[in-house]
């Protein structure tokens, strides 16, 4: 909870930056209630009819018969005119080389620029309609005097640091931080440099601080000790510095680029991040590795280092590459002609430089868009968790809900052409909400999420079922599962929750807690609330008192307010012991209001990830609500949030949590807290998820409540959990 937005936003950046451094069946649609699995049949009933080809980098790909055969696709025996290669349903041109077992399909493929996956998924299928799209060809016999140099591009970029603050359309993965005064040095290796022409340098930065001083950023750039640029700008933003490099500055081989921040703007902190470096420079048309990419405007080009098995492509339009024929080969030299009317981009590939895909896997016909029927309870479950989640699905079916499951991979196949994308999950959920009868009341996401969608940091917490990252005032982008349930006006369509698990064992642990909670008999602890409040703002205790006053008759509340523990000696330990004692005695609800972070309550550290193991409340499992900051930041790839750890505790902890993944103010959170507690104890509402849905729906049209507050309070747990009032 933010009292000082500017300072706390910077603190958040520090916290996050530091941590970052660290077999399918057809669907039954009959009237019987129970668990249904949604998946598509194999195309044509055989795995030989389609494969998915994952491509992670730009280049020419060669899919030979053996490679495809290992995935069940019979290229050797396929009718060439029935082959179809697509990307996002768009036909991708290809050509075939060889015959029979020596046949290969060759195409120009591109990596995926998406934040969610490095791989583009190309679909190779056979089609009865005869829809083969062969690569266009152009005669390229040389005319005129050929040139021996063109412009090559060197691009250096490393995703090392995740930053939540860049705007949604900006890059959140940065290379290295630079604080003024300070410098960053990078080596630009330029083999086969053709001297005598200008080059163009672009350095992409993101400025991470904002101070009253204007301008508050100053950077100068030099290359091989030659000053190239001196630039000043203001605020937190993406910033490009472009410089022309005169002829003679670059060297063949290693070149030293220095990015210097003098630290002379008067700002308390001048912080910028290097994002990427790009250099367009003259390059001899020669190669040592069988690969050459260049841009040129001449009518003919002379290449060295290639054999007669070389492939020449014009990739000026990457979606429509043109194969060049008629080049003249002499030894290891090739001469070919060009149109020469404007700059054209060429890719020259020797036999040893063809790329192989990251994977080739059998494909299934996406059928989710045609699925009918309906479900009360829809679980999105990866195959690895299907066995662990089954007891909960059986329990929900036993209690009268019609249950259906779907693998996220099937959602991607049907709604995003096989590529991971949160928008595909949202599109699927909106689709079934409009078509299924009945539409789902509850949606359960089974698996953890991570803002590191592409696993750049190789953290312990993988992105299994992605969340959406929404942009917020104080935290930049942060997780919102609520986003999946919203209509275009921000109103929830159904109750949604997540079991944030990395392993089947964690799924089983949470499932066991949920079922035990609902099976347990009535007991006194179910009428008790634990209310905890930080002492740094009177509003924290005041909001707790409002929530306590709204409790129904028969409920009691134990208060642990930091303001009443004034003795500084062992203060943190005393507060922690009091919280543990109340937990272990048994309470139905635990509510904390105050300052917090990903893994802690308050400066006093009254409850943290490190000391949560002291809780031994057994099967007396409460619902947790926290009106604070980041306690539900379940999307961190290297650290666990407090709410997650409490869900995973073996001998106690909690059964579900309504917790924030972002930062917001007490005044912004208070209406949501009041609306949620009113709904939770409403006799007409029986489940945790529907209580949160009701609260969100009631506030979605209130212009005084930022949508980001509604979106970033997520339910970690089962939305169909029957709250025992």
pLDDT at 271 over 70: yes
Q: Residue range 229-247: average pLDDT?
A: 98
On the question of pLDDT at 610 being above 70, the answer is yes
| Assigned token pair, 563 | 């303001």
Contact 324, 336 (CB under 8 A): yes
Q: Is 377-716 the same fold as 149-284?
A: no
pLDDT of 701 reads 86
CA distance 145 to 302: 9
78: phi then psi, degrees, rounded to nearest 5: -75, 145
The pLDDT value recorded for residue 552 is 96
> 3-state DSSP call for residue 669?
helix
Indicate the SS3 state at residue 477. Answer: strand
pLDDT for the residue numbered 131: 67
Higher pLDDT among residues 36 and 421, named by residue: 421
Report which secondary-structure segment, H or E, holds 312: strand 311-314
Averaged pLDDT, 555-567: 91
pLDDT of residue 130: 62
Quick check: 38 pLDDT over 90?
no
Residues 428/465, Cβ–Cβ less than 8 Å: no
pLDDT value at 39 more than 60: no
- Angle at which helices 666-680 and 538-549 pack, to 10 degrees? 10
Task: List pLDDT tens digits, range 488-525.
Answer: 999 999 999 999 999 999 999 999 999 999 999 999 99
372: helix, strand or coil: coil
Average pLDDT over residues 81-104: 95
Contact 546, 557 (CB under 8 A): no
Look up the pTM and report it.
0.92
pLDDT at position 687 over 60: yes
pLDDT in tens, 46-92: 445 899 999 999 999 999 999 999 999 999 999 999 999 999 999 99
Tokens 């994977």 map to which residue? 359
Enumerate residues 6+ apart whose C-beta is below 8 A from 120. Answer: 54, 55, 56, 87, 109, 110, 111, 112, 419
Using alpha carbons, select from 603, 602, 577, 604 the residue that is nearest to residue 592: 602
Tell me: the pLDDT tens digits for 572-605?
999 999 999 999 999 999 999 999 999 999 999 9
For the segment 666-694, the average pLDDT, to the nearest whole number, is 97
Q: What is the C-alpha separation between 675 and 681, in angstroms, rounded?
A: 10
How far is residue 192's CA from residue 156's CA, in Å, rounded to a whole number?
18
Which of these, 167, 158, 252, lies nearest to 207 by C-alpha position?
167
3-class DSSP assignment, residue 412: helix
Q: Is the peptide bond before 444 cis (omega within 30 degrees of 0)?
A: no
- Residue 455 clears pLDDT 90, i.e. is over it: yes
Contact, 136 vs 316, CB < 8 A? no
Task: Count how many Cα atoms sit within 13 Å of the Cα of residue 558 in the half-sphere of its side chain.
Answer: 20
Q: Which CATH number fits domain 377-716: 3.40.50.1460, 1.20.1630.10, 3.40.50.1100, 3.30.1360.170?
A: 3.40.50.1460
DSSP state for residue 147 in the 8-state scheme: B
Q: Rounded to an integer, what distance in angstroms lies between the CA atom of residue 197 and that of residue 209?
A: 38
| Share of residues in the chain with pLDDT > 70 (%) | 93
| pLDDT-based confidence at residue 32 (cuts at 50, 70, 90) | very low
Domain map (residue ranges) of the chain: 47-136+357-362, 149-284, 377-716
- How high is the mean pLDDT of the chain? 92
Least confident residue range of 122-136, 412-426, 456-470: 122-136
Q: Residue 704's pLDDT band (boundaries 50, 70, 90)?
A: confident
42 has a pLDDT exceeding 70: no
CA 363, CA 92: separation in Å to the nearest integer? 18
Task: Please check the confidence at residue 3 and state whether its pLDDT lies above 90.
Answer: no
pLDDT in tens, 570-581: 899 999 999 999
> Residue 565: pLDDT band by 50, 70, 90 thresholds?
confident
Q: β-strand 656-660 against 322-325: which pairing, if any?
A: unpaired
pLDDT computed for residue 2 by the predictor: 39
Core vs surface per residue 514-535: b (16+ CB within 10 A) or e: bbebbeeeeeebbbbbbbbbbb
SS3 for 157?
strand
DSSP string, 563-603: GG----TTHHHHHHHHHHHHHHH--SEEEEES-EETTEETT
Q: What percent of the chain has pLDDT over 90?
A: 88
One DSSP character per residue, 512-534 reads: HHHHHHHHSPP-GGGGEEEEEE-
pLDDT tier at 725 (50, 70, 90 boundaries)?
confident
Per the CATH hierarchy, to which homologous superfamily does domain 149-284 belong?
Galactose-binding domain-like (2.60.120.260)
The answer to whether the CB of 468 falls within 8 A of the CB of 459 is no
Residue 70 has what pLDDT?
Answer: 95
């Amino acid at each position: 909870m933010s009292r000082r937005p500017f300072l706390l936003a910077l603190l958040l950046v520090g916290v996050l930056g530091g941590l970052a451094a660290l077999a399918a069946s057809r669907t039954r649609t009959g009237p019987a209630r129970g668990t249904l699995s949604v998946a598509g049949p194999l195309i044509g009933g055989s795995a030989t009819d389609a494969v998915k080809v994952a491509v992670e980098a730009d280049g020419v790909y060669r899919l030979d018969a053996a490679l495809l055969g290992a995935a069940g696709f019979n290229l050797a025996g396929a009718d060439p005119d029935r082959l179809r290669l697509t990307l996002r349903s768009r036909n991708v041109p290809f050509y075939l080389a060889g015959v029979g077992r020596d046949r290969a399909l060759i195409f120009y493929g591109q990596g995926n620029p998406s934040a969610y996956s490095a791989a583009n998924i190309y679909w190779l299928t056979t089609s009865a309609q005869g829809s083969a799209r062969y690569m266009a060809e152009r005669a390229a016999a040389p005319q005129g005097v050929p040139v021996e140099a063109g412009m090559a591009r060197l691009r250096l970029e490393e995703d090392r640091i995740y930053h939540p603050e860049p705007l949604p359309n900006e890059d959140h993965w940065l290379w290295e931080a630079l604080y003024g005064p300070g410098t960053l040095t990078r080596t630009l290796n330029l083999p086969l440099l053709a001297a005598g022409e200008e080059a163009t340098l672009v350095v992409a930065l993101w400025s991470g601080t904002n101070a009253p001083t204007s301008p508050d950023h100053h950077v100068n750039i030099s290359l091989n000790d030659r000053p190239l640029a001196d630039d000043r700008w203001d605020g937190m933003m993406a910033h490009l510095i472009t410089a022309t490099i005169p002829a003679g500055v670059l060297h063949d081989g290693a070149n030293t680029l220095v990015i210097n921040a003098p630290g002379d703007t008067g700002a308390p902190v001048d912080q910028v991040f290097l994002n990427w470096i790009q250099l367009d420079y003259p390059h001899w048309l020669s190669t040592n590795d069988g690969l050459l990419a260049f841009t040129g405007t001449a009518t003919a080009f002379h290449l060295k280092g290639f054999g007669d098995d070389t492939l020449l492509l014009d990739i000026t339009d990457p979606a429509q590459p043109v194969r060049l024929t008629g080049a003249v080969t002499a030894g290891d030299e090739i001469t070919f002609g060009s149109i020469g009317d404007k700059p054209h981009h060429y890719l020259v590939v020797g036999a040893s430089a063809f790329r192989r895909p990251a994977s080739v896997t059998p494909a299934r016909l996406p059928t989710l868009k045609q699925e009918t029927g309906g479900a009360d309870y829809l679980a999105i479950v990866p195959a690895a968790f299907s066995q662990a989640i089954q007891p909960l699905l059986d329990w929900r079916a036993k209690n009268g809900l019609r249950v259906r499951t779907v693998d996220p991979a099937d959602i991607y196949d049907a709604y995003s052409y096989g590529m991971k994308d949160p928008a595909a999950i949202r599109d699927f959920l909106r689709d079934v909400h409009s078509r299924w009868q009945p539409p789902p009341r509850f949606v359960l996401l089974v698996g953890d999420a991570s803002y590191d969608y592409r696993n750049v940091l190789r953290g312990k917490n993988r992105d299994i079922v992605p969340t959406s990252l929404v942009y917020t005032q104080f935290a930049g982008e942060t997780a919102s599962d609520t986003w999946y349930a919203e209509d275009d006006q921000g109103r929830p369509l159904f109750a949604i929750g997540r079991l944030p698990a990395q392993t089947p064992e964690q799924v089983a642990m949470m499932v066991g807690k949920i079922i035990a909670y609902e099976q347990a008999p009535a007991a006194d602890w179910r009428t008790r609330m634990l209310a905890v409040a930080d002492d740094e703002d009177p509003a924290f205790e005041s909001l707790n008192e409002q929530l306590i006053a709204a409790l129904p008759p028969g409920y009691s509340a134990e208060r642990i307010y930091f303001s009443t523990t004034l003795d500084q000696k062992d203060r943190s330990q005393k507060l922690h012991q009091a919280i543990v004692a109340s937990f272990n005695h048994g309470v139905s609800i635990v509510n904390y209001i105050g300052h917090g972070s990903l893994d802690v309550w308050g400066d006093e550290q009254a409850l943290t990830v490190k000391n949560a193991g002291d809780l031994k409340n057994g099967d007396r499992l409460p619902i947790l609500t926290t009106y604070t900051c980041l306690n539900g930041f379940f999307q961190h790839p290297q650290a666990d949030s407090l709410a997650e750890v409490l869900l995973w505790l073996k001998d106690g902890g909690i059964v579900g949590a309504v917790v924030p993944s972002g930062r917001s103010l007490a005044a912004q959170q208070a209406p949501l807290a009041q609306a949620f507690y009113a709904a939770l104890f409403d006799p007409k509402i029986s489940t945790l998820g529907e209580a949160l849905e009701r609260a969100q729906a009631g506030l979605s049209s209130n212009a005084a409540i930022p949508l980001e507050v509604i979106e970033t309070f997520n339910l970690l747990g089962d939305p169909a959990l029957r709250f025992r009032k």
